[in-house]
Amino acid sequence: MIILLSRVTKYGLQNFVRNGLLSSATIAVMILTLVLCTGLLLFGAAGSDTIKSLQEKIDISVYFKTSTDDNQILAMKKSLESLDEVKSVEFISRDDALARFREKHKDDPNIIQSLDELGTNPLAASLNIKAKDPKSYAGIDSYLKTEAPQDIIDKVNYSENQLVIDRLAKIINTMRNGGLILALVLSAVAFLVAFNTIRLAIYSNKESIEIMRLVGASNSLIRGPYIVEGIIHGLIAAIITMIIFIPFVYIINPHVQSLVPDFNMRAYFWQHFLGLFGIQSLIGIALGVISSLIAIRKYLRV
């Protein structure tokens, strides 16, 4: 076994060096494939951050009558938090609501003066509810109408925000589904291009393969060097791809942040550098090995 592995490795390295032009072409195509995969991963992360940001902007609020005791509101908060559909519930007391209102309108003296002249706090306590999935807000609204004590609730703003919530939910679903379909299609195209390039490299050596087969070489000895070549192609392509992306993320990051302010692609790239390199290496090696195995299969039938 050790002798076989050493021979396979030796022949694989020799084939890689001898087929310099085809090896370069194969690596170039694999680099394009891995650049595409890395780009999909990075922009997929940006898309996920955008979806998360959109979801954070969606909520519904329950406003209570000013006479409602805080303990009753906190009891409803606890019951809402027990629902599987609910991600979080924020309680805003009347005092908190007044403080926020004053902060928001601190530059408008007329509003502040009018508020001071009232002498009392006109604002109601409320619960801000965020769902795990935008599709769940209709069910939460139904729960509030049927299960919650109506005598303490003044208003639920779901009907006012329903159009915005539905549109954002549709945008989020479109982004998710569109991104998945695009990734699958582009990955399939990239694989076919890389496979045909590797098959061309093996085709150039078909006579040598047939001769080895006729003189009694085992399938493992014939197949092994091309598997080694595939591994070499994949590793080199992964290394070059990561080198290419180092200046790329610095150039593209300001443009990405102008669209997704909360996402820093440069920081994400360095934080996940080893993981990205590992993924690219696995994809490159798998692409090279699988393509080599499929392409050489027909030459083993003599």
Q: Is 200 within the bounds of a domain?
A: yes
Element (H, E) at 78: helix 70-81
The SS3 assignment for 105 reads coil
Q: Is 217 within the bounds of a domain?
A: yes
Domain carrying residue 177: 2-54+170-300
Six-digit token string for 120: 């009392």
Residue scoring higher pLDDT (163 or 151): 151
Q: Is 254 within the bounds of a domain?
A: yes
Task: Assess whether 97 and 206 both reside in one domain.
Answer: no
Q: Is 101 exposed, middle or buried (0-12, 13-18, 19+ CB in 10 A)?
A: middle
Domain CATH code at residue 140: 3.30.70.3040
Task: Assess whether 29 and 76 both reside in one domain.
Answer: no
Task: Assess whether 126 and 254 both reside in one domain.
Answer: no
Q: Is 159 within the bounds of a domain?
A: no
Q: What is the pTM of this model?
A: 0.62
Task: Assess whether 78 and 197 both reside in one domain.
Answer: no
Q: Is 157 within the bounds of a domain?
A: no
User: What is the total count of domains within the chain?
Assistant: 2
Q: Which of 52-61, 84-93, 257-266 has the lowest mean pLDDT?
A: 52-61
Task: Assess whether 177 and 296 both reside in one domain.
Answer: yes
Q: Residue 251: what pLDDT?
A: 92
Task: Assess whether 48 and 174 both reside in one domain.
Answer: yes
The alpha carbon of 125 is separated from its chain's Cα centroid by a whole number of angstroms, namely: 38
The SS3 assignment for 93 reads coil
Cβ 248 vs Cβ 34: under 8 Å: no
Task: Assess whether 225 and 130 both reside in one domain.
Answer: no
Q: What letter does residue 123 receive in the DSSP assignment?
A: P
Task: Assess whether 35 and 71 both reside in one domain.
Answer: no
Q: Is 240 within the bounds of a domain?
A: yes
Sheet architecture: strand order including 126-131:
86-92, 126-131, 60-64, 153-156
pLDDT reading at 272 higher than 80: yes
Q: Among 151, 182, 203, where does a domain finish?
A: 151
Those residues whose C-beta lies under 8 Å from the C-beta of residue 14, and which sit 6 or more positions away, are: 225
Task: Assess whether 186 and 269 both reside in one domain.
Answer: yes
Task: Assess whether 96 and 210 both reside in one domain.
Answer: no
Task: Assess whether 138 and 36 both reside in one domain.
Answer: no
Task: Assess whether 44 and 70 both reside in one domain.
Answer: no
Q: Is 143 within the bounds of a domain?
A: yes
pLDDT reading at 264 higher than 70: yes
Q: Which of 17-21, 49-53, 187-191, 221-225 has the lowest mean pLDDT?
A: 187-191
Q: Is 84 within the bounds of a domain?
A: yes
Q: Among 122, 151, 180, where does a domain finish?
A: 151
Q: Which segment, 10-14, 114-118, 187-191, 267-271, is predicted with the most confidence on average?
A: 267-271
Q: Among 151, 183, 214, where does a domain finish?
A: 151
Radius of gyration of the chain (CA): 31
**pLDDT category, 74, cuts 50, 70, 90?**
very high
Which CA distances in Å does 187 have to 32, 166, 242?
A: 11, 31, 18
